[in-house]
Each structure stands twice: as C-alpha cells, then as structure tokens.
Amino acid sequence: MLKDGFDRVIDYIRVSVTSRCNFRCIYCMPNTPFEWQPHEDVLSYEEMFEFLRLAIDEGVKKIRITGGEPLVRKELEVFIKVLSKYNKNLDLALTTNGYFLKEKAKILKEAGLKRVNISLDTLKKDVAKKIVQKDVLEKVLEGIDEAIKVGLKVKLNCVVMKGINDNEITDLLDYAKDKGVIIRFIEFMENERAYPGIKRVDSKEILEEISTKYNFKELKKENEASKYYKLDDGYVFGIIEPHSEDFCKSCNRIRLTAEGYLIPCLFFTESYNIKEALRKKDIKKAAEILRDVVRNKPEKNDWQEEKISDRAFWETGG
Ligand SMILES: Nc1nc2c(ncn2[C@@H]2O[C@H](COP(=O)(O)OP(=O)(O)OP(=O)(O)O)[C@@H](O)[C@H]2O)c(=O)[nH]1
Ligand SMILES: C[S@@+](CC[C@H](N)C(=O)[O-])C[C@H]1O[C@@H](n2cnc3c(N)ncnc32)[C@H](O)[C@@H]1O
Ligand code: SF4
Ligand code: SF4
C-alpha cells in the first residue's frame, strides 16, 4: 500500500498520455505552446504500462487517462485493453473534451473502459467558440450522447467563469439531469497559462444559483475530489472546490505525464523523472522513485492561499 506523509492512501493515478490538444480552452492553454515535445521524448504505451503495473501491484485501484486531449493519441484503445486485461477490477476511466467520442466511444468501451468524464462548459454555440476558440459544441454533444448510448458511465465537468458561462449553471444542470448523468461544477484554478482576466465563481455562488431553482442537501464526502449534493427528486450533482480549506484532506492521487514525470501535486511544479528508469527497465529504481513521490506529496495546494500556479494543466492532465 502507498501511504504519504499525512497518512493518506494513494491508490489513484492520473496518466496524461499526450500534452497535445485539438482545443485551446481559455482556462487551460489559450496559446499554442511554441514547441511540442518530440515523439521520442514521450513514453510509449509499453513504458507507461510497465510503470502502471508496478503501481497496481503496490495497491493502486483507479487509473484515469487524461491529457492534453487523450483521444488525439493513436490507438488509445490498445493501451486501455492492456490495462483492463491486467486487472479487471481496476476503476479505469478517461477524461476527455468529447470531440472524438462519437467515433471512439464504442471501441473504448469494448476495450474495457468503464467510465468517461467529459468537459462541457456551455450549451451555447457562440460561447463554446469563445471558450475553446473553435466551433466544437455540436461534436461534443454528439460525443456525450454516444458515450451514454454505448453504456459508459458518464460524468460532465464544467469550469464556471464569471461573465462567460455563470448564467448557464441551472441550464447545464438541467441538461445533465435530462441525460441522467452527474455534472460537477469546477472552481476555476488560477493558472499562469490561462487567459488573463478569467474570474472564478466559487462554490458558494454556484450553490446559491442552483438554490434559486432547486432544494438540495449535501451528501457525505467520499474519497473523491468532488463534493456531492442531492436534489429533492434524487438527482445528484457535484462541486469541485480546490480553494476550500479541507479539499486536499482526501487527496489520494499522483500524476504521470506523457514525458515521463511523476507529479506529487497539481499545484506545484515539483516533479520526478521516471523515464530513464523505465527505459532501462530498472523496475527497482522505478519503484524507489514512486515511493519518493508519494512520501513527498505536499499536504495541500496554495490555491487555498489565493496563489497562482504555473503548472500547466495540459501537461499534468488536470
Ligand atoms: N486541485 C485539484 N483538482 C483536481 C484534482 N483531481 C481532479 N481535479 C480537477 O477536477 C476536475 C475533474 O477531474 P476529472 O478528470 O474528471 O477526475 P476526477 O474528479 O478524479 O473524477 P472521478 O474519478 O469521476 O471522481 C478537473 O478540473 C481536474 O483538474 C486534484 O487532485 N486536485
Ligand atoms: C487538462 S483537461 C485534460 C482532459 C481533456 N482534454 C478535457 O478537457 O477534459 C482535464 C480537466 O482539467 C480542467 N481544467 C483545465 N484547466 C483548468 C483550470 N485552470 N481550472 C480548473 N479546471 C481546469 C478541464 O476542464 C478538464 O476537466
Ligand atoms: S482543458 Fe482539455 S480540451 Fe481544453 S485545452 Fe486543456 S487539455 Fe485541451
Ligand atoms: S491540489 Fe494537490 S494535494 Fe490537493 S487534492 Fe490536488 S493534487 Fe492533492
């Protein structure tokens, strides 16, 4: 079992399979990075699997594939199949912008993917164009429908921004409710790479807006990033509030980037290179690095201190 210095069990790994993305969301990567990593610097699926096998053997139970946009990397389904075969009980999930799901959902489900979290910030075509800097809404909505149709467990993620999409909170909730899927509203995490001037809407304001239409009660928090709330009719939605004092108390995760760095926390730039050990097939060394990362996980982020992170979301996978 992997336990950090604050007695938290680490049983969740988020794997960014690529830093590349077909979107340019204003809160994440509004400007194309000047240089992409050359292909040879990126871990192969085989190398990622060697590491993940080690982590699973150490007690990791949940693996989430993310990016950049994970579905721009070729043959993701092959990687998913290998992981799913290695451990059938793994909570194997994907976080995606949804653009390629119409074509990919079925093949991913067949490969063993269980769950997919899809980013949806607006239901308006022109607002989507403003947030993503590309006309994407129709494809994303088709992708959501397809994922539901093939039987994947779907959640929606919505980053709420003042003056951009904060007037759509109840519309987005109603959309998710109609589809029978959970939506989580995410507080914008201040980031040096984001478009300057984006203003966060905090959890209190989000809940106030929802209370103009619905009664709800808070559910007991599990070992997840999100808090959940239940409407009177039983529908459940969530809020992710990294600025809250107790957010990091239940942290159970570390991250692996496409370039082979292990990252103890989403906020801080600290990272550990595991690529060399994996390329040399030095599993003992890789295991040592994994333990170091877990041991050195910080207690909490600095968003709670109202600081700004310079860690790029498209590298860490969010
Ligand atoms: N600050 C912070 N944000 C996180 C963390 N994990 C996820 N998030 C943010 O929460 C949002 C949703 O993340 P997802 O990729 O859907 O993953 P998840 O919340 O673990 O998903 P579930 O397994 O369905 O609970 C994204 O904006 C992430 O950046 C974390 O450890 N710290
Ligand atoms: C970096 S993306 C990678 C996966 C995929 N491309 C997607 O958008 O779902 C993972 C998550 O990070 C979130 N995210 C990115 N930048 C953020 C920010 N500055 N604040 C809050 N969430 C952010 C996205 O909304 C998404 O839910
Ligand atoms: S949030 Fe996801 S879709 Fe948007 S730019 Fe970042 S990686 Fe791409
Ligand atoms: S901000 Fe860091 S410590 Fe807090 S939940 Fe996220 S990864 Fe864990």
Residue pLDDT, tens place only, 85-118: 999 999 999 999 999 999 999 999 999 999 999 9
Instruction: Please give the distance, rounded to the nearest whole angstrom, from the Cα atom of residue 314 to the centre of ligand 3.
Output: 6
Does residue 216 line the site of ligand 4, with CB under 6 A? no
Instruction: Please give the distance, rounded to the nearest whole angstrom, from the Cα atom of residue 29 to the centre of ligand 3.
Output: 7
Please report, as a single letter, which amino acid is at residue 317: G
Taken in order of first residue, the domains within the chain and their CATH numbers are 12-316 (3.20.20.70)
Confidence grade of residue 30 (pLDDT, cut at 50, 70, 90): confident
Task: Give the CA distances from residue 17 to residues 42, 187, 232, 253, in Å, rounded to whole numbers and listed in that order.
Answer: 8, 24, 40, 16
Tell me what the mean pLDDT of segment 221-242 comes to.
94
Closest CA to 240 of 190, 193, 286, 185: 185
Q: What is the DSSP string of 56-119?
A: HHTT--EEEEESS-GGGSTTHHHHHHHHHHH-TTSEEEEEE-STTHHHHHHHHHHHT--EEEEE
Residue 11 Rama label (left phi>0; alpha psi -120 to 50; beta): alpha
Closest CA to 225 of 192, 258, 189: 189
Backbone angles phi, psi at 16, to 5 degrees: -90, 115
Does residue 21 line the site of ligand 2, with CB under 6 A? yes
Residue pLDDT, tens place only, 247-258: 999 999 999 999
Instruction: Please give the distance, rounded to the nearest whole angstrom, from the Cα atom of residue 177 to the centre of ligand 4.
Output: 29
The first and second tokens of residue 155, run together, are: 């959640």
Residue pLDDT, tens place only, 257-278: 999 999 999 999 999 999 999 9
Q: Which of 28, 172, 190, 314 to mutate to test the pocket of ligand 2 (most atoms within 8 A of CB)?
A: 28
Statement: residue 222 has pLDDT above 90: no
Closest CA to 116 of 136, 131, 132, 101: 101
Please report, as a single letter, which amino acid is at residue 65: I
For the entire predicted model, the pTM comes to 0.97
* ipTM score over 0.95, yes or no: yes
Give helix then strand counts, H and E, for the chain. Answer: 10, 12
Statement: residue 34 has pLDDT above 70: no
